[in-house]
Chain A
Amino acid sequence: MSNEFGQYLRKRREELLKGSPDFTVRKVAGRLGIQPSYVSKVERCEVPPPSEATILRWAEELGEDPDVLLALAGKVSAELRDVIVKRPKVFAQLLRELKDAPDHALLRVVREVRDGKW
C-alpha cells in the first residue's frame, strides 16, 4: 500500500482548504461521488489507492497532474500502457536509455522529419 499517495492527497486538500471552505472531506467526497469515510481512509492510507478513473477525477478536483498521482499510487495510466504495449521493444529501450538522464535533458524529445529518396 502506498503511504505517499494518501499523504500527498491529504496535504494538498488541506492546503486548498486554507483558501476555500469547499475542500472539506465531505465536500470533496461529494464532488468525487464517493463516501466521505472512504476519502478519509484513502488519505490515512488505510485502504489501497482507488481505481484509475477515481484517481483521475481526484487529480482534476485538486488541480494535480494525473500522471503524478497515478505514479504515487503505483499505477500507470491505461493510455500510457497502450502506448507501450503497442511497441514494447522500442519504448522499453527508450525508457531504459533515458532513465538516468537528468530532467533538463528530458524536457523534450525532438523527432526529426525523415528524408527519403526522392
Chain B
Amino acid sequence: MIELSDDSLVFSFPEVHASAKLEINLQRTLRIPDDDGLYPLPPGLGEFPLQHVDDFAERVPKAWIEHGGVMFPMYQSEAMWIYFHASYDDEREVSYPFAVKIATGKINAVTGKEWAFGLSRREQDYVVPPEQPWLDGYCVKKGEIRQFVAMPLGSGYSAEEQLTGKAEHGGLQIVAYPMKREVYERRFPKCERRRGNVMYSMQEKSEDMFSQVCEPSMALAPGGRMKQEIYDDPYEYTDWDLGHCSRCFVHITNSMVWHSITGKNPPTTPPTSEEYTRAGLPWFNWYDDHNQVLQGSDKLAGMKSVAELGKEKGDVPLPENESVDPHNIVQLRNGLKPGQVREWKQPLLM
C-alpha cells in the first residue's frame, strides 16, 4: 500500500516483510543552467507539498481522478529530484532493497521507453534503492543525466511529447517492487551482536474553472546536464518480488493554479542557480565506487533540452539561464548516512 505522510509517499509491503518500507519524496531544487555545461548535484530545498487528488475532485481535471494518486505544484523556474529512503533494519544493519521504476508522461526515465509493467533486466529500466539514493533526471549517458524540469503539458518540451509526439499523460509515474522476503533474509542475516528493536524512522514524515484559468497540467522535460551515476542492479533479477508492487500517479500542476485548486499557497519561488552560487552555498558530487554504472539511453540522449528546443521554436522558455561556476562543491562518497538528503535532513530514531 502507499500512504501519504508528511509530503512523502510511503510504500509499504507488510505482507512481504515488516521492514519492506520505502519512503519517496520529491525534492525542490534549483533549475541548473541549461547551457550544455555539466553541473554537480544541486541541493535539496525541502519536499514539494503533496495532496490526494481525490480531496479536490471538484477542481481538478477528470483525467486526474481517473488516474488517482497525488498532486503537487511546480514553478517553471524550479526543478525536482527524487529521494529514495528505504527503511533501515537495525537487526540486519541494512536498508530493505527495492526496484523502482520512474516515468514521466509514461516515458521511462532510465531507458526512454514507453511505460510497461514488470521489470526489464536486459536493458535495466529501474533504479535500486538504497544503492541509488537519488534520481535527478533522465539517464542520458554513463554518469550523466538531464535534469527534471517542468514545462506546460502541450507546449512540446516534455520527454513524453518529444519521444511520442503526443501530450497525453504528463506527471510522474512511480512503481516499487520489494525484494522477496526469503532472498532478503538469506542475503542479509540478522547481526548477532545487536538485538535491539531500534529502526530508523520513515520520517517520522472543476474543469470549468480550469478553462478560465490556464492549463493546470505540467509535464517533466529535460533541462541542464548534471553529473549523476545511475547504478546497475547489484542483485539477481529473480530476487525481486514481481508478485507485489505498488504504483502511484503523481500529477504536477502549475504553481500559479495550486491556490485555486487547494486554497493553499504554493511554496515560494526558489533561488536561481546564479543567486545560490553567488551566496557560496554548496553543490554536491556523489559517487559509489562499489557499483557498476548504467550506460544511459540513446533515446533519452536524443532529446533536446528545453533551452535547445526553445531556441529552435523561437521561444524564451528560460528567462534566467545564466551559466554559473559552482566553487563550493561537497564531495560525498560511499557510506551515506541513512536518510541523508544532501545535508538538509537527519534521520530520526523511533
B115: chain A residues within 8 A (beta carbon): 118
Size of the chain A interface, CB-CB below 8 angstroms: 9
Partner of B3, one of A113, A116, A117: A113
Q: Which residues 55-103 of B sit at the A interface, judged by CB distance below 8 A?
A: 65-70
Question: Which of the residues B9, B68, B106, B173 comes within 8 Å of A114, measured between beta carbons?
Answer: B68
Chain A binding surface, main DSSP class: loop
Establish whether residues A113 and B52, one from each chain, have CB atoms under 8 Å apart when the complex forms. yes
**Which of B4, B65, B68 lies in contact with A115, CB distance below 8 A?**
B68
Q: Give 1 or 0 for each of B1-31: 1 = CB within 8 Å of chain A CB.
A: 1111000010000000000000000000000
The smallest beta-carbon distance between B86 and chain A, in angstroms, is: 18
Tell whether A99 is near chain B: CB-to-CB under 8 Å.
no
Q: Measured between C-beta atoms, what is the minimum distance from B248 to chain A in Å? A: 6
Contact partner, A116, options B1, B2, B4, B68, Cβ 8 Å: B68
Q: Which residues of A contact B9 (CB under 8 A)?
A: 113
Q: A113-B52, A113-B70, A113-B248 are in contact. Are A118 and B3 (CB under 8 A)?
A: no
Per-position binary interface string of chain A over residues 83-113, scored 1 when its CB falls under 8 Å from any chain B CB and 0 otherwise: 0000000000000000000000000001111
Interface members, chain A 35-52 (any B CB < 8 Å): none
Please tell me if the beta carbons of B173 and A118 are within 8 angstroms of each other in the complex.
yes
Q: Is the CB of A114 within 8 A of B66?
A: no
Query: What's the least CB distance linking A44 to chain B, in Å?
Result: 43
The answer to whether B3 touches A115 (Cβ under 8 A) is: no
The answer for the CA separation of A117 and B9 in the assembled complex, in Å, is 19
Residue ID in chain A nearest B247 by CB atoms? A115
Complex interface: chain A residues within 8 A of B249 (CB): 115-116, 118
Q: B54 on the interface (CB 8 Å rule)?
A: yes
* Complex CA–CA separation, A64 to B9 (angstroms): 33
Q: Please tell me which one of the listed residues A111, A112, A117 contacts residue B67 in the complex, with CB atoms under 8 A apart.
A: A117
B residues near A112, Cβ cutoff 8 Å: 1-3
Known pairs A111-B3, A116-B67, A118-B67; list 5 more (Cβ under 8 Å): A113-B4, A114-B54, A116-B65, A116-B249, A118-B173
Residues on B close to A: CB < 8 A? 1-4, 9, 52, 54, 65-70, 106, 115, 169, 173, 246-249
